[in-house]
Amino acid sequence: MTQSSRRAAGVVVLVLAALLGSAYALGRSLLPDGAPPGTEVTGRATGTRYAEQPAESGAAGDRPAGGDPQADPNGGGHHAAEGVGGGPFGSRVSTGSAQVALTFDDGPNPYYTPQVLDVLREFGVRATFCVVGENAQNHPHLIRAIVADGHTLCNHSWQHDVQLGRRSRDVIRADLLRTSGAIRAAAPDAHIAWYRQPGGAWTKPVVSVAEELGMTPLHWSVDTADWQTPGALRIATTVVRDAMPGSIVLLHDAGGDRQGTVDALRHMLPELTSRFQLDALPHDGRP
């Protein structure tokens, strides 16, 4: 190789190194901030965080079969159910009274769940926590803290499997039983009368199995979209604007950076408590 060829090759290497460095820096700048290391919960199949697997906006491999969840009779998706008389496959979208219910999905999380509990305690509000089985197993003290504060527990599957409703009845049953078992291992006297399907991806089999196990399928009527981390003000504004007597509000205390949800509670609870009675859903699953 001549000296000029070597010089040209050296220039090419330097340019490539610079381009790779720029690409790495750009990629790092796009990563989300907020959650302390080790507090984010990951899903089983793809490694994405739980609340980033909703049926209508997750990766193609995370969506329930059938395309558009609003057109799919087996879907549901993270959208507010129409009306308050009944959700997908008969799932509940109303408290059945004038009370408003705040529900928190995907926890417990060692960083965000204690903050949520502190704010709820400060305002004297009880809520419903839809917990993921592996998180209940990993953080049993938080299950006990939820129960000690008088909140209601809800089964939210073992590993937030959005596709669970598409699996066999035996697989569904084993998943729900394993989750309830982890909850009861932490709090033996806990009542688990509710089940919420990850992603709202309801199917007839998952509803049927949940009911056979004594759990009422729980959907929602107000979706804050806090899983998209829109910021505290937008989350609070959505709830204050859309809540009405009987509303079931969907929030998250895990599955990603949930500081916005924690901060939103402080913004919205003074207004909500002045307009509605906020309470946990009944421990027995009945209106």
Query: Is 253:106 a contact under the CB 8 Å cutoff?
Result: yes
Taken in order 246, 250, 254, 260, is the CA torsion positive or negative?
negative
Nearest to 45 by CA among 152, 166, 155: 166
β-strands 222-223, 248-252 pairing: parallel
105 is catalytic: yes
Nearest to 52 by CA among 225, 260, 238, 175: 225
Task: Determine which one of 62, 72, 78, 105 is catalytic.
Answer: 105
Task: Determine which one of 78, 175, 252, 279 is catalytic.
Answer: 252
Q: How far is CA 278 from CA 75, 97, 118, in A?
A: 29, 11, 16
252 is catalytic: yes
Catalytic residues: 105, 252
